[in-house]
Amino acid sequence: MDLGGARIADLKVDIYTYRADLADFGKGRDLAVIRVITDRGIEGISYVPGLSHIPIPLSQAFKEILSVIRENVVGLDPMSIEAIWNKLYQRLTRWGRRGLVLQAVSGVDMALWDILGKVSGLPLWRLLGGYREEVPAYANTAHHLPPKDLVKKALEYYEGGFRAFKIRGARTEVSFEEATERIKAIRDTLGYDVKLMVDMNGTLDTHQAIEYLRRWERYELYWIEEPVHPDNLEGYKRIGKYTNTLIAAGEQHATITDFKNLIENELVDIVQPDAAICGGISEWLKIWSLATAYGVPVSPHALHPIHAQLVAAKPNTMWVEYFYPDNPLYALVYQVFEEPREALYAEKGVLRAPKKPGLGLAVRKDT
């Protein structure tokens, strides 16, 4: 398919809402579907999830940012992905090099890659390298549940084929004692042959993180995630001196600049870039290249229907973070999208690389 001379004719966004009490994440979460429409009839589709209600829905501001972006991309060549990314990043820098502004840029960038895949006739993972078709995943088990109920959920996922699990231990959600009970309950039930990770969501100070890790050594955690605030780089440096547990971070970091600090200063053992947060697929690929050059594994955060493509495309990638449809943090993804089923629904702890061109996303007709 030839898109020579094509131009971006329009940019649209649809907002979908999931209402629930999500502890640290507000009273609801919105998902934005971004559409980049060309004058040749080809449409690129992407999405940005997790726009929380805290209490005002962040999606309101997100839509306004996209209206500004629309004015800057209509009339441009949709194949000029790097030029568009650079223009938007330079144009919007004063209003946000991270957060909602960069998430909006990320959504547009991912939609442009969808167009490129559709034009080429290839799914994104083939376009970017075609490393493997089966994509390993771990089960996000970060449900806000008492330890006994949480372990039942982990056991359910174990019976579904998963052998790696992540739970939450954020200080804003549970005490150290309850976090320890969660860890112990899963170890007592599933044993030590499964990988167990704990996500702290950046809620500890440096001293607390060191203390927690020392006391959790007996449970043989595979990694602890975001133990301290994402800007506490000195804290990351100190923590690494006091633990044998791997340190993972990156979901709240953005652009290659943030990841350059994490990687070159040896602050983390595993990086977790999220294409919907870090700057889109374009920036994700740069982060992956840097991490690979330094021998640091990449295990992306959330966004599993899209990240399955990237992990399928590239070596030096670990797991995709998988959310079951019953997980309220990202249940909306299943309510909005019906495709790509191979990358939406895991079987025995594995996702499969999609076959349709581009990202393969298709919105349900009944939404």
| Residues designated as active site | 301
Query: Can you tell me the distance from the alpha carbon of 116 to that of 262, in angstroms, rounded to the nearest whole number?
Result: 31
Q: Are 206 and 238 in contact (CB under 8 A)?
A: yes
Handedness of CA 327, 316, 343, 285 (dihedral sign): positive
Query: Can you tell me the distance from the alpha carbon of 111 to that of 44, in angstroms, rounded to the nearest whole number?
Result: 4
Phi, psi of 106 (to 5 degrees): -60, -45
CA-to-CA dists, residue 232 to 227, 252, 267, 268, angstroms: 10, 12, 10, 12
Closest CA to 281 of 72, 63, 127: 127
CA-to-CA dists, residue 162 to 69, 123, 139, 308, angstroms: 40, 26, 7, 16
Q: Is 17 left (phi over 0), alpha (psi -120 to 50) or beta?
A: beta
N-terminal to C-terminal alpha carbon distance within the chain: 30
Q: Which two tokens stand for residue 120?
A: 């080429």
Token pair 């306004």 is at which residue?
64
